[in-house]
Structure 1
């Protein structure tokens, strides 16, 4: 097989020689565009912007005349992103199946693993860009707070900021994993929102689960990380829970995506 050809899926998941595949860079640009190519995604972006601005405005007004810190502004601004950005990530994966565009997508790029990888990287890029936007917005808002007489603290606690960024990336990766595993927007959203909460309740109520709660409950394991506490066994707890809540659904999602028949 020449280097100019790629593999095209045939029945039963087998591959045959076909047309040249799409370069990864172009595929990534396509997936970045598709993240915001629906009305629902654009509405969520608008809600994120409104949410970040609202958090900053409220912080300026409520803290008028009081000491204000850049860390506090950044942490508050991350809340709308952490809530809404994973939903966009979920829709970017499930949309291929719920909107029946998978046939077109995998016809142009039959290497389905590359499509999933491009979706994952695109979502992470957006998360990082969101972090930059939040940092800029927080700095601007802190400057405005100084005009109200507040004492400003421009120092950044790197651990807290790193923890907030790690949590944002974790939520986005978890959204991609659940979307790939379920292939249905409503189902993925319900599982993403409800399953960790249900496990948290079980680990709090069932005696024999309490001893391993920090290892299997991502809400508990991520709490120290979100505030920059990386000491002790916090990182180990977080990594194991992330493997359970991201790695497991991601593995299921990759298998389903590679083997599901496209109609």
Structure 2
């Protein structure tokens, strides 16, 4: 699918994997809406790539709608990349046998709301706009790429909320792809492994920590680069025969219990 001259939306697009996806989509000629909470970084990136920034909290339907509307003003919306997400680590129960020490339920709900419900909300709204596009010669009207995690399969101790949310993203890939096949919109999901993003911090200590993490990767023995994830995003957007698939991009890692 040719996205030159079309518009695209990347949630969580101001940094990390999302930023790399924004840059690579723009390099393919797409007008990209950077949908993020980080206004300073998002606005600077959008200006750099010739796109637009829309402040989006993915738990707010009206803000997602605003991003979709903005995208359609830039060109036919052909691509959505759902990269916004958060993490949370806490064991299911505490050590003292008290109900109050069990996993924070509000934290669990927040992770689900952002990572899973927010992803689905963006899918349903963007796909609605895509359904009104004129079909391309291939019959396509658009493509959606969701970001899950290897935690959907190899969830570690303390990752109940995060793994639940990402497992939900994996689980909805096929049914949503089946729903949207009727209008020529493809849906695929990427499950990243350990990726070098700002979440790990900066400095000598951070670099040593990342190097230690990288030792657990089968090959190569390092963290993945955002550009390596973004290249898969581009493949899933542009390859017209990729649909309803979940692809691990993880260097072969299988996460241990902790």
TM-score bracket, shorter-length normalisation = 0.3 to 0.5
Q: Which has the higher strand share?
A: 2
Q: Which has the higher helix share?
A: 1
TM-score, structure 2 length as denominator? 0.35
Larger RCO, structures 1/2 (Cα 8 Å, 6+ apart): 1
- Which of these two proteins has the greater Rg computed from alpha carbons? 1
